[in-house]
Chain A
Amino acid sequence: MSSLSLFQRIVIRCGLTSCRSMEKQPVKIMVTGAAGQIGYALVPMIARGVMLGSDQPVILHLLDIPPAAEALNGVKMELIDAAFPLLKGVVATTNVEEACGGVNIAIMVGGFPRQEGMERKDVMSKNVSIYKAQASALEQYAAADCKVLVVANPANTNALILKEFAPSIPAKNITCLTRLDHNRALGRIAQRLNIHVSDVKNVIIWGNHSSTQYPDANHAAVITQAGENSVKELVADDKWLHDEFISFVQQRGAAIIKARKLSSALSAASAACDHIHDWVLGTPKGTWTSMGVCSDGSYGVSPGLIYSFPVTCNKGDWSIVQGLRIDEPSRARMDATAKELIEEKTLAYSCLD
């Protein structure tokens, strides 16, 4: 069952007989750190079809550490209690091999959470060893062509570690979440222009899911009945776009922690669903999204870093949007966040010794 690629499993139809009423084969989705806040927000979204569509059955594999075993079982119990029509099975385990067995999609939420006042680098060392271990398990036990999304911070560097220690997983299958920042950027533009968020598109989050990320509205557009207009022109305030807008999006995570006394969970979980949904089912025509992906050197970004780029998705693969004009202030910001990623990489490797 798990020898089919994810994409094949989603499009497969039984060809010989009329099968309109036949359900698709379930897709196995792993969530690590599933007993935590983000996991608790995420699993009902997955079970309702937000991630892969309302006609795609799913089997959830939930992983957490032994101290969380009872809480994890509580999550499993609640998933059963909810009687989700699309949820065809739940595996709740503290055993990473069992968790990874045959999974088509892996959402790596497990890690050491950021507390109020902590910068992401503070949590790096705790997470590097986690991601090295999980890399091995995924490589050995996940289904072929498993798609991986790293959420736990430092997301880009955790994904990099995972990639380095799971060399048989194609690098293009290992991504990290910047869709949350992307969605936050859309929301801020919508608020500024007093329009609905679904009428804003094509912002870009460049670089690291950290305070050096570069939210770029230079190529963003507003959809109106008369066509598409440039956000830059409609906002008509380049200073705001270069300063306030950028720091708003960069600092939003901290603002949520200040208000809730907890990290974003609801919005992070929702963005994770959006990331996978668009990756697997494709981006709408004329629209791109932001994903942390393995750099191929595009836009002068060091190859091999996990760096957030504008991407379109089609047939289960992402492609970096090429040919966007990069002005000088953008260049500087893109370089600064790349520099931080290189520093994180060095720091991460030093933790491994």
Chain B
Amino acid sequence: MAKDPVRVLVTGAAGQIGYALVPMIARGVMLGPDQPVILHMLDIPPAAEALNGVRMELVDAAFPLLKGVVATTDAVEACTGVNIAVMVGGFPRKEGMERKDVMSKNVSIYKSQASALEAYAAPNCKVLVVANPANTNALILKEFAPSIPAKNITCLTRLDHNRALGQISERLNVQVSDVKNAIIWGNHSSTQYPDVSHATVKTPSGEKPVRQLVSDDDWLKGEFITTVQQRGAAIIKARKLSSALSAASSACDHIRDWVLGTPEGTWVSMGVYSDGSYNVPAGLIYSFPVTCNAGEWTIVQGLSIDEFSRKKLDATAEELSEEKALAYSCLS
């Protein structure tokens, strides 16, 4: 007997990332090939016709798992009964723009969407914020939707996590599926700290530390970090558009692992509400290594943090505190 459908909201659904994301959701990439879904798609009135075009295409694709599509410019209708909310809608970053440049435009968006979600989403709705500045948008959303459990509000750093795995796999000339346990600490911005000091590679003779196989700490502490930090900008330079395909795919990975659990022995990176672990200030949305089980994430504890890493963890936390202050100043 088929499962009951899960309602998944995608905001900004008429945009690039939405267009890449919705067919992935409709094919079961996000929740599994046996989980029917109902898509709720929201966008702003100027995009209403394009949004309807996306709805038409979803119907035209005859997806077996897709049990319904709601396409609307009304936040209330969009949020009603949703079990998962993927917040892609926001002001997109253009070539040359830093994330802070788009902050003020997004803060008011996330304040109002917080109210709608809180009032109309299903209980225990899981929220993933993608639109940049992702961490701070998620923080605003949390602050203005106090009845949504803080643990249910997350932001996407899985893209950076996957990029880190990809860079290691290219460097070592191994399959990316054999690399695991990278960590993205902090802000989904250029201060993120891609950390592979605990990452491993599956080899014919067992799991080996990435650090040992790469055998080039200068690269790991230098070029590797900046490549991952700046990858978003590199994509914009090549495509003249933000990452959509990889962002959408990572959003699916984030939700899937959150809901269905991480594999044994593997963690992932998620921007989550800090509880003070690793001396990161509490109350920020900060990316940590997490495992997931029974629909809940848990920060991986007890990882050794060397001096180099400590500085990086603190720098990105500092930026997040600054963003928080900036965001609040936008609200006054």
- A residues near B (Cβ < 8 Å) are 40-41, 43-45, 48, 50, 54, 70-71, 73-75, 77-85, 87-88, 180, 183-184, 186-187, 190-191, 196-198, 252, 255-256, 259-261, 264-267, 269-271, 274
B246 at the interface (CB under 8 A from A): yes
Report whether B60 and A78 are in contact in the complex, using a CB–CB cutoff of 8 Å.
no
Report whether A83 and B62 are in contact in the complex, using a CB–CB cutoff of 8 Å.
no
Report whether A48 and B27 are in contact in the complex, using a CB–CB cutoff of 8 Å.
yes
User: Complex: how many Å from CA A212 to CA B243?
Assistant: 38
Closest residue of chain B to A269 (Cβ to Cβ) is: B23
Which residues between 178 and 210 of chain B lie within 8 Å of chain A, taking CB atoms?
A: none
Q: A71-B238, A82-B245 are in contact. Are A270 and B67 (CB under 8 A)?
A: no
CB pairs A–B below 8 angstroms (10 shown): A45-B27, A48-B249, A77-B231, A78-B244, A82-B245, A83-B176, A84-B176, A88-B175, A197-B62, A260-B49
User: Complex: how many Å from CA A85 to CA B33?
Assistant: 16
- Minimum CB–CB distance from A254 to chain B (whole Å) comes to 12
Which listed segment binds A: B51-59, B117-125, B298-306, B317-325? B51-59
Q: Which applies to chain B's interface (DSSP): helix, strand, loop or mixed?
A: helix
Report whether A70 and B56 are in contact in the complex, using a CB–CB cutoff of 8 Å.
no
Closest residue of chain A to B19 (Cβ to Cβ) is: A266
User: Complex: how many Å from CA A83 to CA B170?
Assistant: 11
Q: How many A-B residue pairs have CB under 8 A?
A: 136
Q: A79-B245, A191-B59, A255-B56 are in contact. Are A266 and B162 (CB under 8 A)?
A: no
- B residues near A (Cβ < 8 Å) are 19-20, 22-24, 27, 29, 33, 49-50, 52-54, 56-64, 67, 159, 162-163, 165-166, 169-170, 175-177, 231, 234-235, 237-240, 243-246, 248-250, 253
Q: A79-B245, A261-B50 are in contact. Are A187 and B62 (CB under 8 A)?
A: yes
Report whether B58 and A266 are in contact in the complex, using a CB–CB cutoff of 8 Å.
yes
User: Complex: how many Å from CA A191 to CA B60?
Assistant: 11
Closest residue of chain A to B27 (Cβ to Cβ) is: A50
User: Complex: how many Å from CA A82 to CA B177?
Assistant: 11
- Minimum CB–CB distance from A335 to chain B (whole Å) comes to 27
Report whether A82 and B250 are in contact in the complex, using a CB–CB cutoff of 8 Å.
yes
- Minimum CB–CB distance from B99 to chain A (whole Å) comes to 18
Report chain A residues within 8 Å CB of B175. Answer: 88
Report whether A267 and B61 are in contact in the complex, using a CB–CB cutoff of 8 Å.
yes
Report chain A residues within 8 Å CB of B239. Answer: 70-71, 74-75, 78
Report chain B residues within 8 Å CB of A265. Answer: 19, 57
Report whether A270 and B23 are in contact in the complex, using a CB–CB cutoff of 8 Å.
yes
Interface pairs A-B: 3 shortest CB-CB = A74-B238, A259-B53, A260-B53
Closest residue of chain B to A89 (Cβ to Cβ) is: B175
Report chain B residues within 8 Å CB of A269. Answer: 23
User: Complex: how many Å from CA A81 to CA B230?
Assistant: 12
Report whether B57 and A44 are in contact in the complex, using a CB–CB cutoff of 8 Å.
no
Report whether B61 and A83 are in contact in the complex, using a CB–CB cutoff of 8 Å.
no
Report whether A83 and B248 are in contact in the complex, using a CB–CB cutoff of 8 Å.
no
Report whether A85 and B60 are in contact in the complex, using a CB–CB cutoff of 8 Å.
no
Report whether A256 and B61 are in contact in the complex, using a CB–CB cutoff of 8 Å.
no
Report whether A54 and B234 are in contact in the complex, using a CB–CB cutoff of 8 Å.
no
User: Complex: how many Å from CA A261 to CA B248?
Assistant: 22
Given contacts A44-B248, A78-B235, A271-B61, 4 further A-B contacts (CB under 8 A): A48-B249, A74-B235, A81-B246, A260-B57
Report chain B residues within 8 Å CB of A80. Answer: 166, 169-170, 176
Report whether B61 and A183 are in contact in the complex, using a CB–CB cutoff of 8 Å.
yes
User: Complex: how many Å from CA A54 to CA B34?
Assistant: 13
- Minimum CB–CB distance from B295 to chain A (whole Å) comes to 23
Q: Per a CB cutoff under 8 Å, which of A40, A183, A190, A259 touches B20?
A: A40
Report chain B residues within 8 Å CB of A73. Answer: 238
Q: Per a CB cutoff under 8 Å, which of A71, A82, A267, A270 touches B162?
A: A82
Report whether A41 and B19 are in contact in the complex, using a CB–CB cutoff of 8 Å.
yes
Report chain B residues within 8 Å CB of A78. Answer: 235, 239, 243-246
Report chain A residues within 8 Å CB of B49. Answer: 259-260
Q: Per a CB cutoff under 8 Å, which of B54, B243, B248 touches A260?
A: B54
Report chain A residues within 8 Å CB of B162. Answer: 81-83
User: Complex: how many Å from CA A180 to CA B49?
Assistant: 21
Q: Per a CB cutoff under 8 Å, which of B58, B67, B234, B249 touches A77?
A: B234
User: Complex: how many Å from CA A188 to CA B324?
Assistant: 49
Q: Per a CB cutoff under 8 Å, which of B20, B67, B177, B237 touches A44?
A: B20
User: Complex: how many Å from CA A260 to CA B49?
Assistant: 7
- Minimum CB–CB distance from B268 to chain A (whole Å) comes to 11
Report whether A259 and B33 are in contact in the complex, using a CB–CB cutoff of 8 Å.
no
